[in-house]
Amino acid sequence: MDINRLRWACRRGMLEVDLVLLPFLENEYASLPDAQKVLFERLLECEDQDLFSWFLKKSDPEDPEIKEIVAIVNSKTGLKVE
């Protein structure tokens, strides 16, 4: 997927999710290996409520690959949740 389509896909219905996805896309996506880029694109297919819960570390994705990319996004966004 090209960067403009990804940018559009990162714009969600929840501002809180936008504030995680868009900076990650702009600052980290380009440096990911191709396999992780594919995982990020899969992550963008998930529901906003799930993303919100995962980014706030209230739950974990069942899919281990999605769990991997969520961990990467969380580690790179600077979002600190206890």
> How far, in Å, CA of 58 to CA of 11, rounded?
22
The residue extents of the domains of the chain are: 3-77
Q: Write down the pLDDT at residue 78.
A: 60
If 0-12 CB within 10 Å is exposed, 13-18 middle and 19+ buried, where does residue 55 land? Answer: buried
> How far, in Å, CA of 66 to CA of 61, rounded?
6
Q: Write down the pLDDT at residue 22.
A: 95
Q: Write down the pLDDT at residue 79.
A: 60
pTM of the shown model: 0.89
Q: Which residues of the chain have pLDDT under 50?
A: none
Residue at token pair 């906003």: 48
**Topology of the domain covering 3-77:** DNA polymerase; domain 1 (1.10.150)
Nearest in space to 67 (alpha carbons), one of 32, 42, 33: 42
